[in-house]
Amino acid sequence: MTTHCCETMTNRVNPRCDEHDDPFACPDALVDFSARFQEYGLIVHDGGTSSITIDFCPWCGRRLPESQRDRWFEELERRGIDPGEDELPAEFQNARRPARLHQK
């Protein structure tokens, strides 16, 4: 269980919604947290799964943890794993969802 910067953020990244399992499908969900990359993103509700990465918490203003995206790919490369082809070891899996691309 990841500790977030404040209670509001914790509530926002773990939305309790009975209707939608996927936060990208839920109009009330605002923030997506990627456990594998340690990234926070504002969900773009355009029917897809894109989000805009944020560096600061919109509620408490604290700087969010540094993205582990580069480290994640470096570590996979070091082990000779191709994330597009090979099955990922458990520690690289984001428990909830398969990988997706962040659109710029």
Beta bridge partners of 52: 42
Conformational region of residue 61, where left means phi above 0, alpha means psi within -120 to 50, and beta covers everything else: left
Instruction: Report the chain's terminal Cα–Cα distance, integer Å.
Output: 28
Of 13 and 57, the one with the shorter C-beta distance to Zn ion is: 57
List the one residue from 13, 31, 43, 57 that touches Zn ion (CB under 5 A).
57
* Stretch in the footprint of Zn ion (CB under 5 A) among 24-32, 38-46, 76-84, 93-101: 24-32
Contacts with Zn ion, residue ranges (CB under 5 A)? 5-6, 9, 17, 19-20, 26, 57, 59-60
